[in-house]
Structure 1
Amino acid sequence: MSIFPAGIAEPAERIIASLTARGEMVATAESCTGGLIASALTDVAGSSAVVDRGFVTYTNEAKVQMLGVEEDTLAAFGAVSKETALQMAHGALYRSRATYAVAVTGIAGPSGGSPQKPVGLVHLAAKARNGTLLHREMRYGDIGRDGVRLATIETALEMLQEISQTA
């Protein structure tokens, strides 16, 4: 029995089973979800064979120190950007033993949005060791902080499934 809804628990179970069968690992780099993607994965029994580590990098300083996101990237594009998400995924992958990494950065709300970057905007990136790279810009809308975070977890798990099946 998972603490997560079926839309999250079931994909997490499939990812753990698939990666376990192939002897592959995953790492997460999370900002707006605060570790919930790693939590969804580690909620699955046997996940210790698959989940190498999770980085919760809520501040820009943490993104730079833990993941190697470039300060110039943050200055030019902001924390909530495609460029930052891609660097977060790269950093998580190469600072771990993982085969795949997924990264998320966004504005869960209820505050912090702007006309250019509204509440509900999330950038997600997934990267594989073979160089395969995915990015999605999601605009979930102002569906509440929990809603944005849960939707982000679902999208991140979809991207992990996709990259692990195509890489």
Structure 2
Amino acid sequence: MSQAADILHLCTSKGLRLTAAESCTGGMVAAALTDLPGSSASFERGFVTYTNTAKTEMLGVSPATLAAHGAVSEQVAREMALGALTNSDTHIAVSITGIAGPGGSEFKPEGRVCFGLAVRTPSAIEECSTETIEFGALGRDQVRLAARNHALSLLSRAASAF
């Protein structure tokens, strides 16, 4: 069974619903989950917010946060995950924002990806954690694939902890 199938099976058995807010992966997490039959039992929706405008309009990411930290930051990943949770009927939201390449800068190199994981607990309290992974200059396709796989791992761990 694939990682996505395992996640869906676990979420279905626990009555959990998922969402993903994606930037550099462009919907790859949503695609991995919805490629499987029966995914609608657990995957509620996905947000592809490739631009800052989309992040603001669809997820409520603050323009001030974007201006202060840039789109590729844990602060934006946090607001994306919380925005996805707020704008869906789900228990777990993952967010991804990064620089798949080519390119990058001295301060934000190619392969840097920030993740957010927001969880709505049974008491309706929202918890959110963030992290940054430096995948390195693996090339656009490989960075995106690595980011997708890491996001799926985050979803799996969160669902297991419920």
Instruction: Tell me which interval the TM-score lies in, with the shorter structure as reference length.
Output: over 0.9
Cα distance, 1:44 vs structure 2: 1.5
Are positions 1:29 and 2:21 aligned together? yes
Residue of structure 2 equivalent to 1:110: 102
Q: Distance in 1 between matches of 2:129 and 2:5?
A: 21
Cα distance, 1:134 vs structure 2: 2.6
Given candidates 143, 148, 151, the residue that maps to 1:148 is 143
Q: Distance in 2 between matches of 1:136 and 1:166?
A: 18
Pairwise CA RMSD:
1.0
Residue aligned with 1:134, SS: strand
The TM-score with structure 1 as length reference comes to 0.92
Runs of 4 or more consecutive aligned structure 1 residues displaced over 3 Å after TM superposition: none
Query: How many residues are matched?
Result: 158
Q: Distance in 2 between matches of 1:86 and 1:162?
A: 17
* Identity among equivalent pairs (%): 47
Q: Unaligned regions of 5+ residues in structure 1, if any?
A: 1-8
Residue aligned with 2:132, SS: strand
Amino acid at match of 2:99: I
Q: Unaligned regions of 5+ residues in structure 2, if any?
A: none
Amino acid at match of 1:96: S
Residue of structure 2 equivalent to 1:6: none
Q: Distance in 2 between matches of 1:166 and 1:82?
A: 22
Cα distance, 1:11 vs structure 2: 1.1
Q: Distance in 2 between matches of 1:30 and 1:154?
A: 13
Given candidates 52, 56, 74, the residue that maps to 2:48 is 56
